[in-house]
Amino acid sequence: MVIVGAVDKSNRTTTVVREAERLAEAFDDTIHFVHALTRSEFVNLGRTSAQADEPLDMGQVRSAAAEMAEEAVTDISVEYETVGLVGDPADEIINYAEERDARYIVVRPRRRSPTGKVLFGSVAQSILLDATCPVVTSFVDDEN
């Protein structure tokens, strides 16, 4: 089976990488670290590409997202892949995990007030509520 680790460019990603690594070691699984580009990130990549007079195709966009996932993974002792997705992060991560019959999805939510969650939403919260496989979360006091 596979463990899906949802990573982004935040300092919370280290926690996801370490927790996914522990689970992969315990179950002898492979990790797929996924980064889903949001619509705004996708638009920004397109603008950068347009400035360079090179149109981006979806393969290039997914590759860029996979590179962002790769940047998040450091010093890991288990087998892993990095995957780039494009779209609503929660939906894309959940769909990816379902397609691969994932054992777990590992996320690291932001600490937000209940009002903040209502106003701004939460990818981790959506994954927790909508995923069909178990979701592992981890909070570490020294990270934001």
| Cα(118)–Cα(57) distance, integer angstroms | 34
Each residue's pLDDT tens digit, 73-89: 988 999 999 999 998 99
pLDDT tens-digit readout, 115-134:
555 544 588 888 988 999 99
| Angle, vertex CA 102, rays to CA 66 and CA 98, nearest 5 | 85
Residue 53 has pLDDT above 80, yes or no: no
Tell me the C-alpha to C-alpha distance, in Å, between residue 85 and each of 37, 55, 111, 112. 6, 18, 25, 25
CATH number at 2-137: 3.40.50.620
Cα–Cα distances in angstroms (integers) from residue 6 to residues 17, 65, 114, in the given order: 9, 12, 22
Kindly indicate the confidence band of residue 142, based on its pLDDT and cuts at 50, 70 and 90.
very low
**pLDDT above 70 (res 46):** no
- Domains of the chain by residue range: 2-137
